[in-house]
Amino acid sequence: EVISFSEVDYEGVRLPHDDLVVVTLQVELFTMKRILVDSGSSTNILYKHAFNQLRIPADQLRPVKTPLVGFAGEMVHPLGSIDLSVVAGTVPCQTQVQMT
């Protein structure tokens, strides 16, 4: 399926630009807005505040022993890992996937 943009999508955008892609998706039963799509990232990160708003019990997190390392070398220790259902698009052009 082709994904394309029209002139209407450029309303409010100053050209030229190098903006990242930001989307809205349904995660579990909640609509999450302002999701940054970074194709260069090697991990999917859900910040604790967003996780708390999903109202998923923390005991569903699986332990993660490997820290995440940023570009400047700083280390962050994840609280854990979880698989979540993610829905993108609207019927009839909709897909649902499980993401970790």
d(CA 100, CA 91): 24
Give the integer Cα–Cα distance in Å for 87 and 96.
4
Q: What is the pLDDT of residues 1-45, one digit of tens each?
A: 677 778 887 777 777 766 677 788 899 988 988 787 776 677 788
- What pLDDT is recorded for position 78? 93
Tell me what pLDDT residue 67 has: 92
If one counts the domains in the chain, the total is 1
Does residue 82 lie in a domain region? Answer: yes
92 within a domain of the structure (yes/no): yes
- Answer whether residue 6 is part of any domain: no
Q: What's the order of all strands across the beta sheet hosting 84-90?
A: 30-37, 21-27, 84-90, 93-99
Within-domain flag for 86: yes
Distance between CA atoms of residues 27 and 31, nearest Å: 6
Nearest Cα to 86, choosing from 27, 33, 37, 31?
27
Q: Are 64 and 100 in contact (CB under 8 A)?
A: no
CA–CA distances in Å: residue 93 to residues 1, 2, 42: 8, 11, 27
- pTM of the full structure: 0.67
For residue range 43-80, list pLDDT tens digits in order. Answer: 788 889 989 999 999 999 999 999 988 888 899 999 99
Domain extent at residue 60: 17-99
Q: How far is CA 3 from CA 31, 33, 79, 93, in A?
A: 21, 19, 35, 11
81 in a domain, yes or no?
A: yes
